[in-house]
Amino acid sequence: MKEKVKAGILGLCTADALGVPVEFSSRLELKTRPVSGMQGFGTHCQPPGTWSDDSSMALALLDSLCSGLDYEDIMARFRLFLHQGSYTPYGKVFDVGMTCSDAINRSTNLPATRCGGTQESDNGNGSLMRILPLAFYLYAHYGEDFWREKAAIETIHNVSSLTHGHPRSLISCGIYLSIAVLLDRLPPAEAVHVGAARAWDWYAVQEGFALELAHFAWLRDAAFAFLPEEEIRSSGYVVDTLEAALWCLLNADSYKSCVLAAVNLGGDTDTVAAVAGGLAGIAYGLRAIPREWLGTLARADYINSLCTAFADTL
């Protein structure tokens, strides 16, 4: 478990750092000058190895789960991140989504699970990008087929709803975690197929969710993995991010090839890469993450120690 936690979380943070310097770059730009390793400055003028709010909020969730599941505590740590720079590489927030920041600021007056936006326009990727630590928590408490347990699904939805409460965001997080818990024992293609099917079957019979599945129809397409790159969108919309991350995972044969493909799709490069990188880390293991990338990663020792502390609680 300790090895898998480190592989997933470091996989997420490393991929995030790869994408930070080229965030918002177009796919055409990256075709001309593709990312092939850690680089710095660029979009946010940050040193090589700098991760963004994606990793910061995932680490805040991870840290909170060390003491058990407490939504108010998770949100309190999000406030520390936003207002005091906790869980950041250098003590300062340089990039955060408006939907996340609005929800965090609402938490001073509302219960944590009611802070996330519930409008269709609130379906950015801000809960998907940070949800991975919950995969290990769910696996430890409910096993890989957590869809049998109502409490497990409520947990996913509540953790997403801290910042993103629309059913489409909840489904995205559910599908992602359903796949993540299977990558420990199944190859990526099979994990995607089985995990997505379990999530689909649950949501298909739930009022308020069934109609939303039309937005995820690509998951039922046997040819999804073979779609040409030009049909894959890599925007900050949660469905696009999930689709792009899974497409990269299905078309890769290593951690490195997966996350570089994700970054070089352009657009929301750090988040698409982080979402893909967490899955690829679990699938291929900690040793698959290039050592030179880990050697450049900001606060890698801190991330390692936090992963160890979390794994010990499981």
pLDDT value of residue 154 = 98
Average predicted confidence (pLDDT) for the chain = 97
Calculate mean pLDDT across residues 32-58: 97
pLDDT value of residue 177: 98
Structure-token pair, residue 219 = 């998951």
- Cα separation of 158 and 163, whole Å? 9
The confidence score (pLDDT) of residue 311 equals 97
- Give the pLDDT score at 3: 96
Closest CA to 254 of 225, 286, 229, 288: 288
Read off the tokens for 102. Answer: 């609005």
pLDDT at 242: 98
Q: What is the mean pLDDT of residues 238-265?
A: 98
Residues shown for the chain: 314
pLDDT of residue 188: 98
pLDDT for residue 270: 98
Q: Can you give the pLDDT at residue 7?
A: 98
Look at residue 262 and give its three-state secondary structure: helix
- What's phi and psi for 52, nearest 5 deg? -110, -165
Percent of the chain whose pLDDT exceeds 90: 99
- Report long-range pairs for 209-215 (Cβ below 8 Å, ≥24 apart): 209/167, 209/170, 209/171, 212/167, 212/168, 212/171, 213/171, 215/168, 215/239
> Distance (Å, rounded) from C-alpha 300 to C-alpha 280?
18
Residues 137-185 pLDDT 10s: 999 999 999 999 999 999 999 999 999 999 999 999 999 999 999 999 9
Instruction: Give burial (CB, 10 Å; 0-12/13-18/19+) of 102.
Output: middle
Q: pLDDT digits over 199-240, tens only? A: 999 999 999 999 999 999 999 999 999 999 999 999 999 999
Give the model confidence (pLDDT) of 86-135 as tens digits.
Answer: 999 999 999 999 999 999 999 999 999 999 999 999 999 999 999 999 99
pLDDT at 298: 98
Q: What is the pLDDT of residue 83?
A: 98
Please give the pLDDT value at position 263. Answer: 98
